[in-house]
Homo-oligomer: A and B are copies of this chain.
Amino acid sequence: MQNDLLLKAARGEETERVPVWLMRQAGRILPGYRKVRASVKDFTELVKTPELACQVTLEPVHVLGVDAAIIFSDILVIPEAMGLPYQMLESKGPWFEKTIKTAKDIEALHIGNTEDWEYVVNALKLTRKELGDKLPLLGFAGSPWTIFAYMTEGSGSKTFSVAKKMIFSEPELAHSLLDKITTTTIRYLKDQVKAGADLVQIFDSWGGILGHDTYYEFSLKYIARIVDELSPLVPVTAFPKGAYFASEQLAKLNCRVIGLDWAINAADARKTFGNKTLQGNMDPCLLYANETSIRKATHNMIQSFGTRNYIANLGHGVYPDTPVDHVKCFVDAVKEYKAQ
């Protein structure tokens, strides 16, 4: 591979410089994406059309000069594969007409298979072909808890109290759903690797709304199962958004890379996560500042984490109204960093 900085860093090898990419780099910040998005009926059509998904996946490689492409898709491919379709409502986020409430609902769910996510497989294959051996291609999935949260709640939520009601009042039912999601997700990520993903990231976007005990029981345990199945194939990144309270347990995960949000101090993270590779963690709102501030904050971040076992990124997806020049400034600031 011509630029294998990110994979080397993920494996813990030395690199000439720190690799960089951004969560949600292929999205609304880019003009090409907005054009493609305007040309289709809805978000899911874009996700399900491999040529378009490939096109928007590659745009940040050209425009921003990042060190990896991440396949344009959505974590909600999994509920849909299991028989629970979603819509992406403009400025409202995901919405499910049906939600999971009973044992019968769970029984009716299908354990997904290749044919259920063939469009993702095809998008990955096409992107791999277009990308050649230029850069690594990243795959991803939501954590079982995060998928569970959407399948039971039916939409985003500040509290996810419907989802949490199930874990507290019917824990066995919750586990049976989490188990089914986990089995499906393992198949899905293995298919992504077969189709050309060089690394996979598990987004535990809603882990942070759980507590110290419930996180281990309802989220981490299932992430661990996925990590154990995927790690022999490719490096795996676990991104436990907002779950700082679970750091010690997260450190025991059998994955090479931990994604960090901006809550975490680099020195503390290094102490907790030992020789794992760390990815993150600038606050995406820092990209609203001027370029001098962005450059300074980026260099400070790298200095705090150190250049070894490190992948520069934000602590969350880039926000849609971020100026492209500012994003580019962040990427360039990583590339120009020289250790003092």
B-binding residues in A (CB < 8 A): 156, 158-159, 161, 164-165, 167-169, 208, 211-214, 242, 244-245, 262-265, 268, 283-286, 288-290, 293, 315, 319, 321
Contacts and interface: CB of A to CB of B under 8 A. Distances in A.
A290 B169 contact: yes
Given A168-B293, A263-B245, A289-B169, A315 B211 contact: yes
A70 to B, nearest CB: 20
A7 to B, nearest CB: 28
A265 B242 CA distance: 15
Contact of A263 (B159, B211, B283): B211
B168 A286 contact: yes
A293 B167 CA distance: 12
At the interface, is chain A mostly helix, strand, loop or mixed?
helix
A161 B319 contact: yes
23 contacts: A159-B284, A161-B285, A161-B288, A161-B319, A165-B285, A165-B288, A168-B285, A168-B286, A168-B288, A168-B293, A208-B242, A208-B263, A211-B263, A211-B264, A211-B283, A212-B262, A212-B265, A242-B242, A244-B244, A244-B245, A245-B263, A245-B264, A245-B265
A17 B161 CA distance: 31
Contacts of A158: 156, 158
A39 B116 CA distance: 53
A290 B170 CA distance: 10
A286 B167 CA distance: 9
Nearest to A316: B159
A208 B284 CA distance: 15
A15 B214 CA distance: 31
Contacts of A284: 159, 161
Contact of A164 (B161, B165, B283, B290): B283
A324 to B, nearest CB: 16
Contacts of A268: 212
Given A161-B285, A213-B265, A242-B242, 20 more contacts: A159-B284, A159-B285, A161-B284, A161-B321, A164-B285, A165-B285, A165-B288, A167-B285, A168-B285, A168-B286, A168-B288, A169-B288, A212-B262, A212-B264, A212-B265, A212-B268, A244-B244, A244-B263, A245-B263, A245-B264
Given A263-B245, A265-B245, A319-B161, A289 B211 contact: no
A286 B289 CA distance: 41
